[in-house]
Chains A and B, each alone.
Chain A
Amino acid sequence: AQSVTQLDSHVSVSEGALVLLRCNYSSSVPPYLFWYVQYPNQGLQLLLKYLSGSTLVKGINGFEAEFKKSETSFHLTKPSAHMSDAAEYFCVVSESDTGRRALTFGSGTRLQVQP
């Protein structure tokens, strides 16, 4: 069984400030970890993913995330927020070695970027 906890339902930052969206996961098997972004009334777009290897993962639009097994965390960061980053962000986990492909989503973090 697996679960995802996104610690903040809303995060507000100023344009140019650091973005930190927190995510903790629970999984009985080694996880695959993802961050997806959802813009209003649209589908979801993959930002980045961790499958194995380097624990620091770089994604699109300047985002990156670090897999910390000891902390069971996969926090998403961006050094400098842009107005266009305002969206809903979902941390997602799936099982790596069972063949089960279902994604388990966190409840989402809504990012606001103030001018």
Chain B
Amino acid sequence: NAGVMQNPRHLVRRRGQEARLRCSPMKGHSHVYWYRQLPEEGLKFMVYLQKENIIDESGMPKERFSAEFPKEGPSILRIQQVVRGDSAAYFCASSRPGVSGDEQYFGPGTRLTVT
């Protein structure tokens, strides 16, 4: 059973370009979470999605950031018009449907560098 998959693992974008990060959850998992890790810091929650629904986006920046989890295919975190401050590691996690407290399984992350 493959774990959570993220691609690309490394992404370099120039300021003003768009970044698209992909996450495929573990088989049987219908809940996806995105977290951002700035250098020397812990992870910060961004958004929680179920298929075709955004459940909690309280950690998402108000502008330039969006996320989706379509009925078919991976979850996408999209950052428009990237700036240097967006450089970070972005982690996706997934969990089973059910009660809270279930383990979130993390992917290897996408390291975004904005030049």
Interface residues of B in 13-29 (CB under 8 A from A): none
CA distance A10 to B45 in the complex (A): 23
CA distance A105 to B42 in the complex (A): 6
Is there contact, CB below 8 Å, between A94 and B101? Answer: yes
* B112 CB, nearest partner CB in chain A, Å: 14
Residues of chain B within 8 A (CB-CB) of A104 are 45
Q: List 10 A-B contacts (CB under 8 A).
A: A36-B106, A43-B107, A46-B105, A49-B103, A51-B101, A101-B33, A101-B104, A102-B45, A105-B35, A107-B41
User: Given that A43-B91, A44-B91, A106-B42 are known contacts, is A101 also in contact with B100, CB under 8 Å in the complex?
Assistant: yes
User: A115 within 8 Å of B by Cβ?
Assistant: no
Residues of chain A within 8 A (CB-CB) of B31 are 101
Residues of chain B within 8 A (CB-CB) of A4 are 42
Ranked nearest first, the 5 interchain pairs of A and B with the lowest CB-CB distance are A105-B42, A102-B45, A43-B106, A44-B106, A43-B108
**Size class of the contact patch on chain A:** 20 to 34
User: A95 within 8 Å of B by Cβ?
Assistant: yes
* B82 CB, nearest partner CB in chain A, Å: 22
User: B95 within 8 Å of A by Cβ?
Assistant: yes
CA distance A36 to B35 in the complex (A): 14
* A103 CB, nearest partner CB in chain B, Å: 6
| Nearest neighbor of B42 in chain A, beta-carbon distance | A105
Interface residue from A46, A95, A105, A107 paired with B103 (Cβ < 8 Å): A46
Is there contact, CB below 8 Å, between B108 and A90? Answer: no
User: B43 within 8 Å of A by Cβ?
Assistant: yes
User: Given that A43-B4, A102-B48, A104-B45 are known contacts, is A94 also in contact with B100, CB under 8 Å in the complex?
Assistant: yes
| Nearest neighbor of A105 in chain B, beta-carbon distance | B42
Which of B42, B45, B101 is most buried by chain A, counting CB atoms within 10 A of its CB? Answer: B42
Residues of chain A within 8 A (CB-CB) of B101 are 32, 49, 51, 94, 96
| Nearest neighbor of B95 in chain A, beta-carbon distance | A101
